[in-house]
Structure 1
Amino acid sequence: MVAMSEETPVERAGFVERAIVRHRAGESLAAIDHVAEEIPVALVFNGISHVVMMATPRDLEAFAYGFALTEGVVASAAAIFDCEVFLRPDSAEVALTIAQEDFVRLKDRRRALTGRSGCGVCGIDSIDMLDLRPEALPPALIQVDLPAALARASAGLRAHQALMQETGGVHAAAWCTPDGEIVQVFEDIGRHNGLDKLIGHLALHAIDMRLGFVFLSSRGSYELARKAARMRIPLLATISAPSSLAISIATQAGMKLVGFCRQDAWVDYTPDIGI
C-alpha cells in the first residue's frame, strides 16, 4: 500500500516548460519547449537511505517496487509492507518498509550508490558486487512468433509514448503479450528506471512476468538484461543494440535477447535459445 505525504502535489506531468530559441534555416524563433523532468529520488528502506537515483518524478511507487525487486533488495513484492512517497519540487523520497530478513541482508551488502540516468553501477567499489551470474530461467511458458510479435510491438510503441512525444528525451519500457500487443508502458529519462517502473507495476498487480515479454525503446545494456533475468522474463527486445555483457547475461540465464527491432526486421543475439 502506498501513502502520499501531505506535501505531495498532484502527479507530475514528467516535463517542465523552458524558454528557448529555435534556430533553423538562418531564422531564430523564441518559443516555450517541454523538457523531460529529472530529479534526485532517494529510496529509503526501513528508515535507512540506500540509493539516490536520477529519475522522472512519475510512477514513483512502481519505481520503488521495481528497483527493490530487480536489485534483489527483496525476494518478492510480498516482502514490501508499506510504501510512502514524498514528492517535493526539486526532489523526492520513497520510504519502504520491508521484511526484516530482507533488511538484514540489505544491510550486509549495503553500499553508497548514486545512480545517474545513464549509469547503473555508479558507486560500486567491488566487481563482485555487480552480480553478473544470473540463475537459469525455467522452461519458457510461452511461445512467441517473433516476426509477428516484434512487428506488432514495434508498430504500436510510439502511440504509447506520450512523454516522448512531448519532450523527445525519455525512454519507454513496454509489457507485451506473446503476440506483441502492448499492454502497459512506462517512461523515464533513465532506461533502467523505466524498466523498474514497469516491473514494479507488474508486481503490484500480481502479473506473471513469465507470460509476456518486455520491449524497450533503448539499447540493451547489461543492467536491463540482469533485471529482466532476475524477474524470469523470457524475452527482452530492444530498438537499439545490446552490449556484449547483456548478451552474456541473457545467454547464461537462457533468456531470449533480440535487438534492432523494427516492423520488418530484428537481430537475434541468442539464436540457440528457443521461445
Structure 2
Amino acid sequence: MPVPGESQPPSAPGGVARRIQRRHGEVAETVIDQVAEEVPVAMLYNGRAFAVMMATPCDLEDFALGFSLGEGLIAHAGDLLDVDVHTRVEGIELAMTVSADAAGARFRDESVRELPGRGGCGLCGTRELENLLHSPAPIANATRFDAGALRRALAALARHQPLNAATGATHAAAWADAEGRIHRVREDVGRHNALDKLIGAMTRAGDDPAAGMLLISSRASYEMVVKAARAGIGFIAAVSAPTALAIELARGANLCLVGFARADGYNVYTFPERLRASP
C-alpha cells in the first residue's frame, strides 16, 4: 500500500501506486511503483447479466460499446441507448440499455457466459462449440497502404502507451491513418478489452474503419481478427504472432494480416499486395 505522507508519482489512468522493494544484486530499496488495475467488470443488458470481464477500469463507455458490437449484441451504435457505470464492492457494473430489437435484449439464458472473461481470454465462459466460430463477412473496400506508413506507426506505438510505460502490464490497440499517424489508442490488461475499447472510441468518433491501420501490441488470435473484421477494419499489424485460425479467418474476411510487426520488418500472412513497398 502507498505510504501516508510519502511523495508519490501521479498514476496514469488505470494505474495505481504501490510500495514495493526493488533489488539490484545485493542492494534493496523501497520505492513507489505503478501497477495496472484489474477488476471484474460485469456486462448487463436490459437488467440481465451476460458476462464478467477482467479489465482495466478506464474508458468504460468505449468498452461497453465496442464489446457490444464485437459480441454481436447490437448491430449499430444507435442500438446502445444508455450506459450506467455502477461501482460495487465486488467490482464494476456496466448496466446497458439496448433497443428492443437488438440481440442483447433477447439473448437466451443458455447463451450467457457463465465464467468470467479473463484478461487474456475473449472466449472464457462460452458454453457451446458452435458459439466460438463466427466467420465475419468479407471486407468490401479493402485499402492499400504504404509500407513506410506502417513503419512510422509502429515506431511511434510505444510513445502512445502511457499506462504500459508506467506499469509494463498492459496491451494496446491503436488506430493509425494512411500516413502512419496514430490517432487513437486504448490500453487494457486484456488484449481483447483494449481492442473493444478502441472500436468503441472509433465508432463514437465516426472514424472510417477501412481508411486506416489497426496496430495491436499482442498476438493476433482468432477473436482479434473477428472483432476487427466485424468493425470493418481491413488491415491488422500485430507485434506478436498470429495463429493458424486467425490467418484463415483473415483470408476469408478479405483482411490483410501482418505479424511480428516491428519498424524494421514484419511478416505478411494474407494479401501482401495491399502493403506497397515504399519508393
Task: Return the TM-score normalized by structure 2.
Answer: 0.89
The alpha-carbon deviation at position 271 of structure 1 amounts to: 3.7
The one-letter code of the counterpart of 2:94 is V
| Offset at residue 108 of structure 1 (A) | 6.9
Q: Specify the alignment match of 2:229 in structure 1.
A: 229
Code of the residue aligned with 1:235 in structure 2: it is: F
Residue in 1 aligned with 2:126?
124
Q: Distance in 2 between matches of 1:162 and 1:90?
A: 27
Between 1:22-31 and 1:102-111, the stretch displaced more is 102-111
Q: Which amino acid aligns with 1:233?
A: I
Closer, same or farther: CA 211–35 of 1 in aligned 2, 3 Å: same
Which ranges of structure 1 fall in alignment gaps of 5 or more residues? 1-10
Which residue type is aligned with residue 258 of structure 1?
V
Superposition misfits of 4+ residues, deviation over 4 angstroms:
none
Aligned pairs (5 A) from 1:121-200: 121-140=123-142, 142-145=143-146, 147-200=147-200
Give 1:37-116 correspondences, 5 Å limit.
37-88=37-88, 91-102=91-102, 103-107=104-108, 110-113=111-114, 114-116=116-118
2-structure distance, mates of 1:274, 1:162: 31
Q: How big is the shift at 1:59? A: 0.4
Look up the equivalent residue of 1:180 and give its one-letter code.
G
Judging changes above 3 Å, is the alpha-carbon distance between structure 1 residues 246 and 78 closer, same or farther for their aligned structure 2 residues?
same
In structure 2, how many angstroms separate the alpha carbons of the residues matched to 1:73 and 1:57?
A: 21
1:219 maps to 219
RMSD: 1.8
Could you list the runs of 5+ residues in structure 2 that have no partner in the other structure?
A: 1-10
Structure 1 Cα separation of the partners of residues 200 and 271 of structure 2? 29
Equivalent AA in structure 2 for residue 158 of structure 1 = A
Q: Give me the whole-angstrom Cα distance separating, in 2, the residues matched to 1:56 and 1:136.
A: 31
- Alignment length (residue pairs): 263
Shift of 1:198: 0.4
SS of match in other structure, 1:254: coil
Query: Once the two structures are superposed, what CA deviation does each residue of 1:52-92 show, in whole Å capped at 9, x if it has no partner?
Result: 10000000000010000011110010111111112356511
Structure 1 residue 112: Cα displacement: 2.4
Instruction: Give the TM-score normalised by structure 1.
Output: 0.90
Counterpart in 2 of 1:35?
A: 35
How far apart are the structure 2 equivalents of 1:258 and 1:135?
20
Deviations 1:10-57 (A, max 9, x none): x98211122211121222222121110000001111111111100000
- What is the CA-CA distance between 1:248 and the residue it aligns to? 1.3
Amino acid of the structure 2 residue aligned with 1:179: E
Q: Is the 8 A contact 1:254 1:273 kept in 2?
A: no
Change (3 A) 1:59 1:104: closer
Other structure's SS at 2:18 match: strand
Relative to structure 1, is the Cα distance of residues 231 and 108 closer, same or farther in structure 2, using a 3 angstrom cutoff? farther
